Structure 1
Amino acid sequence: MRVDGRDIIVSGDLLQPLTRRTNDILRLVSAGVLLVIVVTSSLITRYEWEALERSISEIVGVLTPTQSNTVYLVYGIAILALPFMILIGLILARQWKLLGAYGAAGIIAILSLSITGNGIAAPRWHFDLSDRLDTVASQFLDDPRWIAMLAAVLTVSGPWLPARWRRWWWTLLLAFVPIHLVVSAVVPARSLLGLSVGWFVGALVVLVVGTPALEVPLDGAARAMARRGFGVSALRVVRPAGRGPMLLHATQDRSADHADPHEDVAIVELYGPHQRGGGVLRQFWRKLRLRDSETAPLQTSMRRAIEHRALMAIAVDDVGLASTTPIAVSALERGWTLYAHRPARGVPIDECADQTPVARLWDALAVLHSQQISHGDLRSKEITVVDGTPLFGGFSLAEYGASEAHLHNDIAQLLVTTTDLYGADEAVAAAITVFGNDAVLAASRRLTKAAMHQRLRQSVKDPAATMASARDEVKRQTGADQITTATITRFSRRQLIQTVLLVALVYVAYPFISSVPVFFSELSSANWWWAVAGLAVSALTYVGAAAALWACADGVVSFWSLTVMQVANTFAATTTPAGVGGLALSARFLQKGGLGALRATTTVALQQAVQVITHVSLLILFSAAAGASANLSRFVPSATVIYLLAGTALGVVGVFLFVPTLRHWLATAVRPRLKEVVDDLVELAREPKRLAIIILGCAATTLGAALALWASIEAFGGDASFVTVTIVTMVGGTLASAAPTPGGVGAVEAALIGGLAAFGVPAAVAVPSVLLYRILTCWLPVFLGWPIMRWLTRRDMI
């Protein structure tokens, strides 16, 4: 490469890998949002659009039909030539790989607007304009399929086009809006549809095929470094641009003024458009997730972020603790940004920890903090040692005028790094010697996964164990009873879970709320003593469930606490599909009660297994007791449905057996858990008393629900045997576990009402009876379960 009369040797692979860049993802999301808005607004306000079109046509329609056709014909010639000009430009530039994407985008855009219910035709979203545009060329160019094709090919070829061409061609395409206004043929719904479809198709094609290598402005980088006194003679590509910047190693001719060879070498980082977009998203995510005191002000561009990094390197170098110094920062062509700096001096700390006392690292950090500078990224790779003096590098997260939160975060990060290198006792002792008990104790509250960023956690061998050992050592050396975790995020995990549960509760309660007026109109004829009896019986189901889980846990946890937890369990199970929230809450409660994670999960699985066995056994028993008079065939699906379900089950089994990944998952994850449950069942068979408690508890859960429904029917004067009500209840419970809605809302009510009607219970009795039953067994426990779950949370029981 020749730059300004100098020959520069370039080695290595400059070709960037095909990648789904951040800008490509954002472009597709933006195009999808625009398409949804255009289609939705056009369908909802179609008549308003037509009225607006006619009114605008009357106001701005100043040209005669002949003048309109002339203007439109001149524009048509330019717009017709546009795709062929792009095609010729790609061929002349030898962009052969792009031609396939170019053609695919154009064809998909045309077809997407051509396929209708009546065959291949253009959609007619507009009123008749034949009196204004009467030429074939005008009607053809007014077709939204043509606009969509142009937008698609322009989007696909945009990354390879010169910026000036790209701006001019997009301006030419978008000019159809004012031209339509001038010729009094404005059709915004149809035109915007074509534009949004074309943009979305082009963005989708770019995301699928990936963005090939953009031209790297190495000549601009060499000129920027030359202006800073570093005359580049050779460039070697160390790493092509991907998730991070393009990294190059630059050298200049040995100068007599530079006695240190280190002065003739530079590290060049080139940040492209992908890194700029990704950096904005990362900043935005940090700002959204973390509190203001934890995050720095947003950088408006990649250049500003790099300038901040270079300025922080200069500030740290002023106190003699920077391992590198910047050479040049410059904005280059096509959205690239240059950051050139000296190579890091010294030996990485993880290679010389034996020769470097840990106290020196803490002394160096104290010097930084005395200048109110925080580093923010104290990994071992960012710390080097020169003649026994620790130096810092990186500075991408450093802050000048740092807040107390940033300073404490530095202490916590160095605690993790030094604990991994030196051990917890030496690291904590040195930290307390330099910063004191109060500062180290406050910083140790940040020894959590949320406070330590991912790169720092990955730099140590076992981050969880390292943070735990450092935290325990801080407690031991400071004499603290406990260390409360610092809240650094705007929303804790607990708050997010509670918010999701509340939203789910509103969602599942909506169908019930809509039927409340009808239900209250029937309450005047209800027998309230039966309703009270149903409430008492439904309360006994929680005692039965608690007894079963208590026996499965072998009496390790408190029976009374388990009973209270069952009410909160109803809230969690109802607001999540298939009741998974209730299972998770039970496992969490057992863990807090002293069981290990694996043992708690196995206990819940055991209780569920016995519950299923008991449920099926009772269903068979009561079905046999009901006999032929119950006409149980109405609950049996048709042969076709049974064959379909059996075939689907066999297909799923075949997929799991023949796909290696799924087969490995079954062998390593599912089989050990299943074996533990089977072993527990075998062990239970040898303990009759414990087995009896579990079976009776599970049976009380099922039969208690049936008794509550039977009492509800009696409250409204119904006449149904307890046996038939039990069968209907168990069928409804089965549907509740299989329904995709939280708590089986909708499916359970429909199944119970239909089941009662099948057994001769009139709808006037079945509907209010089922609603009363659901109030007693579902909605009252749900609304009581929310404050109970908050109470258990405050007492650290879940």
Structure 2
Amino acid sequence: MRPESTPAADADVDLPAPHYRDVNHRRSRADARTAGVFLAIVLIGLSFATVAAETMTGISEDTQNGIERVPRALLLVILVLVQVTYLAVLLVTPVVLLFRRRFNLIARGAAALLLGPLLFRLLSLIPGVRASGDALSGISDRLPDAVTVEWPSTGAVAACAALAAATAQGLPRPWRRAVWSFLATLGLLRVLTATSAPLDVVLAIGAGGLVGSAMVLLLGRRASVLTAAGVSAALRQSGLATSAVRRDPDAPPGRYEASAPTGPIDVLVLDEHDWRTARLDQTYRWLRWRDVGDDALAPTPSQAVAVEAMSGLLAASRGVHVPAVRAVTQAPHGESILAVDRIEGRPLADLPPDELTDDVLRRAWQELALLRTARIAHRHLDLGRVLVDPEGRIWITGLDRSLPGAGDRILAWDVAELLAGTSARVGPERAVAAARGVVPDEDLVAALPRLVPSALSAPTRVALKDAPSGAPELVDEVCRVTGVEEPQLEKVERFKPRTLLTAAALGLAIYFLAPQLTDLPSTITALGGVNWAWVPVIVLASVATYVGAALGLAGGTPGRIPVPEAAGVALASSFVATFAPPGVGQVGLNIRYLQKRGLPTPVAVSASAAKETAVLTVHLLLLVAFAVLAGSTGAISGELSRLPPAGVIGAFVGIALVLVGAAVALPRVRRVVRERVLPSLRASADAMREVFSDPVKIVTLFLGVALLPLGYALCLYFSVRALGQDTSFVAVVLVSLTAGTVAAAAPTPGGIGAVEAVLLASLTGLGIASAPALAAVLLYRLATFWLPIAPGAWAFRSMTARGVL
């Protein structure tokens, strides 16, 4: 039962208010993580049901053999208990929810029971997906006839998974664990009672869970959120009288302001929902980074708040200016609450340059030195958490990630963070001089290898990136004043997101290409039969792509751009995009070239954006046009006949739209769209508006960007003809345009792996045998990707030496 209303309010006027308020559409990134996990399970289930049939059969056999030692009577009791529990859950749960008036949860559960098996059924219709494998004999032979029916069915498992994912969020943690344990038991029973190896049991769990988690992500969850009145009541029960409790709408969730007898206070309320989101962020950092000190994950919200309070009390006992801890308590529903003094000060990140004096910097380092003597690692010491009050005292705030009893390696990260933050504001010389006045040189030297911008906090990283002097200048300055050689920066990244995407793309490519490579002798024989008369036109088609890129750049740029020189830039980009770091590709090279020709940076960026926008527009138009042409002429009728039924395709499109809508519903996704995607689109539109004012530029631009994909298409078509294969020109062009889309999206340089897989699958789908199809793909990629690298390197070196680049 909830507490009675208490006279405290969300504003300065004391009014009766409940301690909790219901929120019906609460979302978090943790929900997106759950959906992602189930999506991964779906992919694993698809692999089990398609290419890993022997593996799943072996698992089923091993499981049934392992259960042979269980007494028959005990086995029957377990089966009967699970079946009774299953029926009880289905019958009793709606009654309980109805009694508690949770009508929305009943409706959500009913929808999940229908949609989970439906998605599972649609996935089962994918060509190659099988429901069962080899026949099994084992546990089923030991059961009486009454229970020899395979139970539960995979459809029932999918329904239960959907129900659990959609409704378990409304249950307490022990009940949630019980629900998921019961679902795991159902999956195990499906494996045990089946007379043939169930290849789709993992797929059923993944499909059902994906439906349920997508519903939570799309519709949100119902939650009881502590109000300001509830915060005030909980603090009063801990012995701290408060008034005027209110939540700042601009502050992060769970942050409140209040008045206490000791003065204004800040209140942190950490509930299960906010803790799961914070834990997700911290888990991501723990998985991606190594040895950055962010690997201590408190298992519960109450322990996280206790650690923060302990850090504050310990730091204060050593003389560090930190907010005094006034109360630590819990609310009736388990929310953990921490109250500390509110520091009326300004962050060093917001101080004007004339107020960020050497004395202020020195006193900031003194506070960090005292914090280090207490062996407390702050672990997020950006300048926004270092305040200066009206009396000039420096305060360290934001101990929510702090770690008491930290080792020297973890403490060194705070030194690196403060060095980088102050260097971004006042320059390396003043920042290092202020640090040396307080911190021993050996501590500065220990922090040197940790000046890795990507591992610093986001505010510090952004400030350092925008500063005139970056991390290399700061490292040089520390080395100069301490007299040490420049150290090797620590490799703190376990992996990069781009690395994962690259590995996934190569994995898919190997999956599709490996079966064809088994027939490598036939492919070599096919390559030996190349009609050399086609080779010159293949090379000419490849050269046409560079001419198209040059015309596109010339047409999208104000003023006169020499086409031969622009073609040289395009050729150089074939080398740069292959071996240079990510982000230094054709676009970057075009901008650099235009800057060298005297164009201002905004104009160079605008011209490059105009060209890339035109490339994308023309590519999509050609893709649609040739798709319509191929459909009307029957060029790809064989491929179309192998597609799933229209209903299945429509269902998958609908599911994809639902997932996209669920993603857009997340505030973080909307913020990315608003802050990054839309400005880029507006910039591209503005760039195109300038181009459209000149008819000659328009013709040159669109002629060039049309020649670019068509040149690749002709190169592929001539490669197919060189292998003696006679196929539809329209179909090959459509295949080439599709491969171009994959190349643009693939994270590997030039779409290595992904493009080959798409081309090979498409050409074999057009009726070309696998050996000549693979030979044609190799010939095409040789002409368009591998051979241009050497002349591209020569062009890059030559144009750089002449000052063109």
TM-score where L is the length of structure 1: 0.62
The Cα offsets for residues 595-640 of structure 1, whole Å up to 9 and x where unpaired, read as: 544443566588899999xxxxxxxxxxxxxxxxxxxxx9994794
| Match for residue 569 of structure 1 among 574, 592, 605 | 574
| Match for residue 415 of structure 2 among 386, 389, 407 | 407
- Do the aligned partners of 2:423 and 2:431 also contact (CA within 8 Å) in 1? yes
- Do the aligned partners of 1:736 and 1:747 also contact (CA within 8 Å) in 2? no
Aligned to 1:619: none
Q: Does 1:740 align with 2:741?
A: yes
- Do the aligned partners of 2:449 and 2:489 also contact (CA within 8 Å) in 1? yes
Q: Does 1:490 align with 2:493?
A: yes
- Do the aligned partners of 1:537 and 1:707 also contact (CA within 8 Å) in 2? no
What is the identity, as a one-letter code, of the residue corresponding to 2:215? V
Aligned to 1:676: 690
Aligned to 1:84: 91
**Equivalent residue of 2:26, what SS?**
coil
Query: 1:591 and 1:49 mapped to 2: Cα distance?
Result: 62
Query: 1:733 and 1:454 mapped to 2: Cα distance?
Result: 44
| Match for residue 377 of structure 1 among 378, 381, 394 | 381
The Cα offsets for residues 521-546 of structure 1, whole Å up to 9 and x where unpaired, read as: 47778899x89989998998799789
- Calculate the aligned-residue CA RMSD, in Å: 7.2
Distance 1:556 1:515, change over 3 A: farther
Query: 2:778 and 2:695 mapped to 1: Cα distance?
Result: 37
**Counterparts in 2 of 1:21-40, with a 5 A limit?**
21-38=28-45, 40=47
- Do the aligned partners of 2:323 and 2:343 also contact (CA within 8 Å) in 1? yes
Aligned to 2:21: 15
TM-superposed CA distance for 1:208, in Å, is 2.9
The Cα offsets for residues 279-302 of structure 1, whole Å up to 9 and x where unpaired, read as: 23222333444463x444332435
Query: 1:168 and 1:313 mapped to 2: Cα distance?
Result: 37
- Do the aligned partners of 2:428 and 2:477 also contact (CA within 8 Å) in 1? no
**Counterparts in 2 of 1:138-217, with a 5 A limit?**
142-146=152-156, 148-163=158-173, 198-214=208-224
- Do the aligned partners of 2:253 and 2:274 also contact (CA within 8 Å) in 1? yes
**Counterparts in 2 of 1:402-441, with a 5 A limit?**
403-416=411-424
**Counterparts in 2 of 1:610-649, with a 5 A limit?**
637=629, 640=632
- Do the aligned partners of 1:445 and 1:485 also contact (CA within 8 Å) in 2? yes
Query: 1:323 and 1:251 mapped to 2: Cα distance?
Result: 18
TM-superposed CA distance for 1:779, in Å, is 2.8
Query: 2:68 and 2:479 mapped to 1: Cα distance?
Result: 84
- Do the aligned partners of 1:291 and 1:490 also contact (CA within 8 Å) in 2? yes
**Counterparts in 2 of 1:256-655, with a 5 A limit?**
261-262=261-262, 266-290=265-289, 292=291, 294-303=292-301, 304-329=303-328, 336=334, 338-348=336-346, 358-371=357-370, 372=372, 375=378, 376-380=380-384, 382-398=386-402, 401=408, 403-416=411-424, 450=454, 453-455=457-459, 467-468=467-468, 490=493, 517=521, 520-521=524-525, 563=568, 566-569=571-574, 572=577, 582-583=586-587, 585-588=589-592, 590-591=594-595, 595-601=599-605, 637=629, 640=632
Q: Which runs of 5+ in 2 are unaligned?
A: 11-17, 481-485, 617-625, 635-673, 744-749
Distance 1:733 1:568, change over 3 A: farther
- Do the aligned partners of 2:366 and 2:438 also contact (CA within 8 Å) in 1? no
Distance 1:313 1:549, change over 3 A: same
Q: Which runs of 5+ in 1 are unaligned?
A: 253-260, 613-633, 643-660, 686-690, 719-726, 758-763
The Cα offsets for residues 145-171 of structure 1, whole Å up to 9 and x where unpaired, read as: 555545544444433335555556666
What is the identity, as a one-letter code, of the residue corresponding to 1:392? I
Query: 2:719 and 2:200 mapped to 1: Cα distance?
Result: 58
Query: 1:86 and 1:783 mapped to 2: Cα distance?
Result: 69
- Do the aligned partners of 1:324 and 1:342 also contact (CA within 8 Å) in 2? yes
- Do the aligned partners of 1:378 and 1:456 also contact (CA within 8 Å) in 2? yes
- Do the aligned partners of 2:365 and 2:434 also contact (CA within 8 Å) in 1? no
TM-superposed CA distance for 1:37, in Å, is 3.8
What is the identity, as a one-letter code, of the residue corresponding to 2:493? R
* More contact order relative to length (CA 8 Å, sep ≥ 6): 2
More displaced stretch, 731-740 vs 11-20: 731-740
Distance 1:349 1:36, change over 3 A: closer
Query: 1:250 and 1:403 mapped to 2: Cα distance?
Result: 33
Task: Give aligned-pair identity as a percent.
Answer: 20
- Do the aligned partners of 1:542 and 1:701 also contact (CA within 8 Å) in 2? yes
TM-superposed CA distance for 1:563, in Å, is 3.9
Query: 1:183 and 1:83 mapped to 2: Cα distance?
Result: 21
Aligned to 1:627: none
The Cα offsets for residues 643-702 of structure 1, whole Å up to 9 and x where unpaired, read as: xxxxxxxxxxxxxxxxxx9xx9899434432243355775899xxxxx9xx999999999
TM-superposed CA distance for 1:407, in Å, is 0.9
- Do the aligned partners of 1:236 and 1:250 also contact (CA within 8 Å) in 2? yes
More displaced stretch, 41-50 vs 267-276: 41-50
TM-superposed CA distance for 1:513, in Å, is 7.4
What is the identity, as a one-letter code, of the residue corresponding to 1:210? G
TM-superposed CA distance for 1:369, in Å, is 3.8
TM-superposed CA distance for 1:385, in Å, is 0.9
- Do the aligned partners of 1:63 and 1:183 also contact (CA within 8 Å) in 2? no
Query: 2:708 and 2:294 mapped to 1: Cα distance?
Result: 55
More displaced stretch, 186-195 vs 11-20: 186-195
Query: 1:498 and 1:454 mapped to 2: Cα distance?
Result: 23
TM-superposed CA distance for 1:324, in Å, is 0.7
- Do the aligned partners of 1:151 and 1:199 also contact (CA within 8 Å) in 2? yes
- Do the aligned partners of 2:553 and 2:607 also contact (CA within 8 Å) in 1? no
TM-superposed CA distance for 1:362, in Å, is 0.8
**Equivalent residue of 2:268, what SS?**
strand
TM-superposed CA distance for 1:333, in Å, is 7.4
TM-superposed CA distance for 1:383, in Å, is 0.7
**Equivalent residue of 2:389, what SS?**
strand
Q: Does 1:239 align with 2:238?
A: no
TM-score where L is the length of structure 2: 0.62
The Cα offsets for residues 396-447 of structure 1, whole Å up to 9 and x where unpaired, read as: 355655544431321322344x56xxx9999899779878999999999999
Distance 1:359 1:533, change over 3 A: same
Query: 1:172 and 1:703 mapped to 2: Cα distance?
Result: 57
Distance 1:37 1:343, change over 3 A: same
**Equivalent residue of 1:396, what SS?**
helix
Distance 1:144 1:240, change over 3 A: farther
TM-superposed CA distance for 1:231, in Å, is 0.9
The total of aligned residue pairs comes to: 703
TM-superposed CA distance for 1:9, in Å, is 4.0
**Equivalent residue of 1:322, what SS?**
coil
Query: 1:754 and 1:447 mapped to 2: Cα distance?
Result: 52
TM-superposed CA distance for 1:138, in Å, is 9.0
